C-alpha cells in the first residue's frame, strides 16, 4: 500500500500520477530492439522529486509481468563505497547467477582488476584480453611497469580472461531470457555526482555486452555537469552519445493527476482540492515530492496545533476548587476541597481549528515556504513584508518587492527574478486569500496564521500583539481569544465587554457559539447575560436565516446553560422556523432535545419514524 507520508517510491498498483502509459511507451521501444541493437542505454531524466524512481519501478513491474529478467540497483545506498561499481557487480552476479558460478572468486578478480594500472587501455575497450600482455611488455621500459615480472603479467591476463568468461556467461544468460534481453535499472546516480563518471566507465568495461539494456535514472543537469568537469568539447559530446543512446524526460503531471494525488493524500472535499490544485500549479508545480512535502507540513502543523488546543480545552474540563464559608466566617471542615461544576467548551480540537482557520490557507503558506523560502522567512517577522503580501494578493506589486528583485545583478538573473515576483503575485491572488473588509483586517488575518505557526512550531511565526483587539471583526476576535487563552491563560474581561459593546455582530452562528463558549468557560456569566439581552434580535435573525441545524442547536444549548429565560424568548421567536428546519433535515444527530426548552424526545422520535409524509408533516408543525 502506498504511503501518504513517506517518500518511498511506488509501484504499478499504487500509481497515482498516471505514469503507466508513459512506462508502456518506453517498454515498447525496448521490446523493439534486436540483439544487434544491444547493449543499449536509456536515460530516464527528471528533476529532484519528479518521480523517476516510481517510474522505473513501474517499468520493472511491467517487464517482470512479461517474464523479463530485471535487476534494480539503487546507487545511493552504496554512496560511501569508494568504488561504486563493485557493489553494483555483486548485485548483478547475485541476481543473475544465484549459485551457478563461483561468485567469491569472480568478485575478487573484479576488485583486483580495478587496481592494475596496465589495464587502463583495456578498460576503454580498445584491445582484447590477449593483447594486454603485449601492452605490458611494450611498456616495461617506462614507469610504472619496468619492475613487473612475467609472472605478474600472467596473473593479470588470468584475471582478464576470467572476466571475459563472466561476460560470456551474461551474454548466454541474456540469450536464454525472453526477448534475449536483461534489463538493468540504475537509479539515483545524481545523488553521488562525484562518482558518476567512474561508475559509467566501469559499466562500459564490464557490461558492454550484447543483450544488456541499461535504464539510468538521473537528473540530466547533474549528469551533464559531472561529464563536463571530466571531459571537454568534442570528447564530452562523443562520450555522452556513447554512454546514453536515447533519453526520456519525466513529464510534468497533469492538473487532473495533481487533483487525484491531493485527494489521495488529504481526503479533503472537492472545492478544497480544486483551490489547492491551483495553488500547486502556481507555486511548486507538479513535482510529486514537493506536493507531498507541502501536504505533510500542513497536516503536521494542524496536528500539533490541535494537540495544543486539546491541552487548552482540557484545562476547562478540570473542576475548580471551592472552599465554602458559612455566614459566621467558619470553614466547614468536611467541605474543604469541594469542587465546583466543570465548565467545558463543547467543541473538539479539530472543530475549533476548522471553525477558526482554513487549512487551505495554511496549505498556501506551506506552498510559499517550499517555493519562495527567503520571502517566506521575511514575512514571518517583517511587518512591511506582511503588508506587501496583502498588496500582492490585491494585485498590486509594491516598490519594496521590486527592490527585492534588484539584489541580483546580472540581466538574466534579474529577468528571472522579475518573473518569479509576478508568479508570486499571481499565487497570492489565488483563493483562498486572507480575508477582511479592508487591508488592515487582511494583514491581521495573515498575522493570526503566523501566530498559529508560532504556537505550532516555535522557530517560525510571530507572537501577535493587538492594540485594540475589541475593534477586530468577530472571526479575528475569536482567534485573538484563543491565542490569549493559550499564551496567557485567560482573556481580559474588560476587553470582552468592550467587544460586546461594539455591536458589530454580523456573523455566522458558529462564530457566536465559539465566542459564547469561551466566555462561559472563563465564567464571565454576567457578560454573557449582557450579550444575550443586548443582541437578542440579531441572534434571532441569524437563527431564522441559518441552514446549519447543528449550529442552531449548539447556540441555543450554550445560551440555555447560562440564561434559561433568554433561551426561551429566542426559541419562542424562532420555533416555527426552527420546526420547519427540523422537519426538512435528514441529520438527526443535529437535534438534541435536552438542549432546547420546548422540544421533547417524544417529538424527535415521532419525526424519526414518521417518514415526514403529508399530514404527518403538518401534524409535526
- Arithmetic mean of pLDDT, 229-250: 78
* Residue 31 in domain: yes
* Residue 616 in domain: no
- 249 pLDDT exceeds 80? yes
* Residue 424 in domain: no
Q: Check which CATH number belongs to the domain holding 222 and give it.
A: 3.40.50.300
* Residue 254 in domain: no
Beta bridge partners of 339: 321
Residues 179 and 37: beta-carbon distance below 8 Å:
no
* Residue 93 in domain: yes
Output the pLDDT for position 610.
Answer: 46
- Arithmetic mean of pLDDT, 198-208: 76
301 CB-near residues (< 8 Å, 6+ apart): 362, 366, 452, 453, 456, 457
Q: In angstroms, rounded to a whole number, what is the distance separating the alpha carbons of residues 330 and 372?
A: 67
* Residue 455 in domain: no
Range of the domain at 242: 15-76+83-230+238-249
- pLDDT tier at 162, thresholds 50, 70, 90: confident
Q: In angstroms, rounded to a whole number, what is the distance separating the alpha carbons of residues 581 and 600?
A: 16
* Residue 363 in domain: no
Q: What SS3 state is found at 214?
A: strand
Least confident residue range of 187-191, 229-233, 329-333: 329-333
- 289 pLDDT exceeds 50? yes
Cα dist from 14 to 54, 188, 290, 293, 456, whole Å: 10, 21, 18, 18, 32
94-134 pLDDT tens trace: 888 776 666 676 666 666 655 554 455 455 545 555 555 55
- Arithmetic mean of pLDDT, 349-355: 89
* Residue 206 in domain: yes
Longest dimension (CA), the chain: 120
- 328 pLDDT exceeds 60? no
- DSSP category for residue 462: -
Residues 542 and 513: beta-carbon distance below 8 Å:
no
Q: What is the mean pLDDT of the chain?
A: 77
Number of domains in the chain: 1
- 343 pLDDT exceeds 70? no
- Arithmetic mean of pLDDT, 89-93: 83
**Residue of 118, 111, 112 lying closest to 147 (CA atoms):** 118
- pLDDT tier at 77, thresholds 50, 70, 90: confident
> Which H or E run includes 293?
helix 288-317
Q: In angstroms, rounded to a whole number, what is the distance separating the alpha carbons of residues 199 and 208?
A: 13
Amino acid at each position: 500500500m502506498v504511503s501518504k507520508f513517506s517518500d518511498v517510491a511506488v509501484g504499478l498498483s499504487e500509481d497515482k500520477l498516471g505514469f503507466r502509459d508513459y512506462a508502456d511507451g518506453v517498454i515498447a521501444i525496448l521490446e523493439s530492439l534486436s540483439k544487434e541493437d544491444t547493449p543499449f542505454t536509456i536515460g530516464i531524466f527528471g528533476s529532484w522529486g519528479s518521480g523517476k524512481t516510481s517510474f522505473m519501478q513501474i517499468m520493472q513491474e511491467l517487464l517482470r509481468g512479461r517474464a523479463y529478467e530485471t535487476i534494480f540497483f539503487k546507487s545511493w545506498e552504496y554512496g560511501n563505497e569508494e568504488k561504486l561499481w563493485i557493489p553494483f557487480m555483486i548485485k548483478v552476479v547475485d541476481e543473475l547467477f544465484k549459485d551457478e558460478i563461483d561468485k567469491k572468486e569472480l568478485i575478487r578478480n573484479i576488485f583486483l582488476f580495478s587496481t592494475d594500472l596496465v589495464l587502463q587501455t583495456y578498460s576503454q575497450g580498445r584491445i582484447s584480453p590477449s593483447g594486454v600482455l603485449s601492452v605490458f611488455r611494450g611498456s616495461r621500459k617506462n614507469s610504472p611497469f619496468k619492475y613487473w615480472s612475467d609472472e605478474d603479467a600472467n596473473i593479470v591476463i588470468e584475471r582478464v580472461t576470467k572476466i571475459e568468461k563472466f561476460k560470456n556467461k551474461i551474454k548466454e544468460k541474456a540469450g536464454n531470457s525472453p526477448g534475449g534481453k536483461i534489463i538493468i535499472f540504475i537509479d539515483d546516480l545524481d545523488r553521488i555526482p562525484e562518482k558518476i563518471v567512474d561508475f559509467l566507465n566501469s559499466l562500459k568495461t564490464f557490461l558492454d555486452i550484447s543483450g544488456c539494456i541499461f535504464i539510468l535514472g538521473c537528473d540530466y543537469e547533474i549528469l551533464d555537469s559531472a561529464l563536463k568537469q571530466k571531459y571537454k568539447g568534442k570528447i564530452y559530446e562523443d562520450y555522452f552519445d556513447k554512454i546514453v543512446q536515447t533519453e526520456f524526460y519525466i513529464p510534468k503531471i497533469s492538473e487532473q493527476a495533481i487533483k487525484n494525488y491531493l485527494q489521495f493524500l488529504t481526503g479533503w472535499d472537492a472545492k478544497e482540492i480544486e483551490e489547492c490544485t491551483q495553488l500547486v500549479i502556481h507555486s511548486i508545480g507538479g513535482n510529486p515530492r514537493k506536493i507531498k512535502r507541502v501536504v505533510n507540513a500542513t497536516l503536521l502543523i494542524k496536528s500539533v496545533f490541535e494537540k495544543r488546543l486539546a491541552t487548552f480545552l482540557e484545562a476547562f474540563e478540570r473542576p475548580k476548587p471551592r472552599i465554602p464559608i458559612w455566614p459566621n466566617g467558619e470553614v466547614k471542615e468536611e467541605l474543604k476541597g469541594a469542587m465546583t461544576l466543570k465548565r467545558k467548551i463543547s467543541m473538539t480540537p479539530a472543530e475549533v481549528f476548522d471553525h477558526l482557520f482554513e487549512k487551505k490557507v495554511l496549505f498556501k503558506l506551506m506552498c510559499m515556504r517550499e517555493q519562495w523560502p527567503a520571502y517566506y522567512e521575511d514575512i514571518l517577522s517583517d511587518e512591511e513584508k506582511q503588508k506587501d503580501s496583502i498588496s500582492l494578493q490585491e494585485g498590486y506589486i509594491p516598490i519594496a518587492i521590486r527592490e527585492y528583485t534588484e539584489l541580483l545583478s546580472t540581466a538574466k538573473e534579474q529577468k528571472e527574478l522579475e518573473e518569479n515576483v509576478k508568479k508570486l503575485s499571481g499565487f497570492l491572488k489565488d483563493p483562498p486569500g486572507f480575508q477582511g473588509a479592508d487591508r488592515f483586517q487582511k494583514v491581521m488575518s495573515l498575522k493570526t496564521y503566523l501566530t498559529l505557526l508560532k504556537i505550532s512550531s516555535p522557530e517560525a511565526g510571530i507572537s501577535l500583539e493587538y492594540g485594540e483587539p475589541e475593534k477586530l471583526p468577530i472571526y479575528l476576535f475569536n482567534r485573538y481569544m484563543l491565542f490569549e487563552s493559550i499564551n496567557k491563560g485567560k482573556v481580559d474581561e474588560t476587553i470582552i465587554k468592550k467587544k460586546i459593546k461594539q455591536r458589530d455582530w454580523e456573523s455566522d452562528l458558529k462564530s457566536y457559539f465559539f465566542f459564547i463558549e469561551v466566555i462561559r468557560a472563563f465564567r464571565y456569566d454576567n457578560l454573557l447575560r449582557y450579550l444575550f439581552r443586548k443582541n437578542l434580535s440579531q441572534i434571532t435573525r441569524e437563527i431564522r436565516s441559518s441552514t446549519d441545524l447543528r449550529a442552531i442547536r449548539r447556540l441555543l444549548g450554550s445560551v440555555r446553560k447560562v440564561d434559561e429565560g433568554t433561551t426561551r424568548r429566542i426559541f419562542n421567536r424562532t420555533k416555527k422556523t426552527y420546526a420547519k428546519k427540523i422537519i426538512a433535515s435528514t441529520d438527526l444527530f443535529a437535534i438534541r432535545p435536552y438542549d432546547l426548552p420546548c422540544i421533547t424526545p417524544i417529538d424527535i422520535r415521532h419525526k424519526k419514524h414518521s417518514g415526514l409524509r403529508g399530514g404527518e408533516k403538518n401534524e409535526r408543525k
